[in-house]
Amino acid sequence: MARYTAKRIILLGLCWMYALLLHAQLAERFSRLGMENIRTVSNAEKQIIAYEDRVYRNSYEGVKKAIETALDGNETKTICLIILDENGIPQLKIEIPAELSRRFHRKECTLYDVYAEMKMGTQADEELELLKGKETIQRSNWRPDLTVYPQLFLENSSFNKLYRYYISLAPALEMPLWKGAELTAQVIFPIVGNQKGELKQIRPGIVAISQGFYLGRNVYLKATGGQFTNHRLGGQVSGYWRNKNGRWEAGAKLGLTIYSIFDNAGWTVNRSKPKVNASIYGRTYLPQWNTEITVEAARFVYGDYGIQGELVRHFGEYTVGLYGVYTGGDANAGFSFAVPLPGKKYKRWKGMRLKPADYFNYRYKMTVWGEYVDRKLGHTYNTVPGENRSKGFYQPDYIRYFLMKTTKTR
């Protein structure tokens, strides 16, 4: 009996050491991919890996590499991937059952079949609880990205010029500070244009610090303070909720800002007239057409109330959108798009990553003169550079569709 107990203890010890070895090897393989903030935990049935992807330009390419890496050498456990956004906030959960993994290794199914059958969703509270206190590999804290954003201004609002235009480059230092927090410091360098005043000057762009929170049950909160676009200085709080399959989303934001401009006269700030802006929105994703529909009710920066609707179609990494807004008794409309820029993958060099923007995005308004402009209707601002609907898009149906499409065509 004693001999049997000793053998059992030795066997359990060997199994435990083997599990620890696989655990370390998996974290190391994700680190070699360039993933950051990696945490892993395993039990008898499940291997959980949480990671942040700052290396791949498009979201589904990074997911593809992560799935291939997790499948390599695993045949006995259910794989659970938790994908975090650039502030370490969970965005997507992928679960590959052990039986599906075994079928793949026995060549009874292909990677395409794995993508089709794996489980996907947005809620990972149970797995995040198991990951608490686990060692974080390849931390991104205090390791900056220097990202160069192209900017294009194009407006037909003058009778003596066909178009007012300028082109500039706006490098931004984007540095994670701690979990959920990020510092952004941007400078705008004008290249060419037919404008005067501030648009011909080297000037600050977005200079801000943000803190994101995950409150559980798919509820997210973010607070941002600093210098924003459209001459706004102040703070904004935003939050949103998503359902478990990611097809429905609802959110709100509240901002308090003052006017702030850098021009030939220096830095001018008007503290006497703070402005409150607020909005609530609802969004749905239609997987049949890879399309998002958003409806938003808002109080804009200068006190006008209105409603805005937007339709965004995803073509892989490309997005094209149409929008309309009715505010202050007047209407406007336009279009937007985001186009991927060259370079699919960027790794760090001595802690720093120097790269172009992942996407060139542009938003065009039909009405840029007359009463709509004179009354300052529909004014908004951005709190992060290059904001668009392509970057960091982790909607489960979108990820699955383009994983399967790109695998099928190769």
| pLDDT digits 0-9 by tens, 155-191 | 765 545 556 788 999 999 999 999 999 999 999 999 9
Q: Are residues 310 and 236 in the same domain?
A: yes
Domain of residue 312, CATH code: 2.40.160
Q: What is the pLDDT of residue 24?
A: 62
130 and 190 inside one domain: no
Side-chain-facing half-sphere of 225: CA atoms under 13 Å: 1
Bridge-partner residues for 328, per DSSP?
none
208 shares a domain with 73: no
Structural domain total, the chain: 2
196 & 134 share domain? no
**Domain membership of residue 112 as a residue range:** 30-139
pLDDT at 408: 72
* 97 and 169 inside one domain: no
pLDDT for 20 equals 47
Note the pLDDT of residue 198.
82
Q: What is the pLDDT of residues 314-355, one digit of tens each?
A: 999 999 999 999 999 999 999 999 999 998 888 888 888 999
Q: What is the pLDDT of residue 2?
A: 53
Same structural domain, 220 and 345: yes
* Spans of the chain, pLDDT less than 50: 13-21, 159, 410
For residue 121, the cross-strand partners are 93
Contact 125, 217 (CB under 8 A): yes
Residue 369's pLDDT is: 75
Give yes or no: residues 122 and 177 share one domain: no
pTM (2 d.p.): 0.89
Instruction: Classify residue 392: in a domain, yes or no.
Output: yes
Q: Would residue 220 count as lying in a domain?
A: yes
Domain boundary among 90, 117, 139: 139
Kindly state whether residues 60 and 127 are assigned to the same domain.
yes
Q: In the beta sheet, which residues pair with residue 42?
A: 47
Is 275 among the domain residues? yes
Question: Which of these three, 83, 113, 139, is where a domain ends?
Answer: 139
- 343 belongs to a structural domain: yes
Boundary-marking domain end, from 102, 119, 139: 139
Per-residue model confidence (pLDDT) at position 199: 82
Does residue 13 lie in a domain region?
Answer: no
Whether residue 204 is contained in a domain is answered as: yes
Q: Is residue 234 part of a domain?
A: yes
- The number of beta carbons lying within 10 Å of the beta carbon of residue 329 is 11
> What per-residue confidence (pLDDT) applies to 266?
82
List, in order, residues 6 or more apart from 332 with CB less than 8 Å away. 324, 325, 365, 366, 367, 372, 377, 378
Closest CA to 79 of 51, 112, 107, 109: 51
Say yes or no: 58 and 83 in one domain: yes
In a domain, 407, yes or no: no
- 229 in the same domain as 192: yes
Question: H-type helices in 134-207, by residue range?
Answer: none
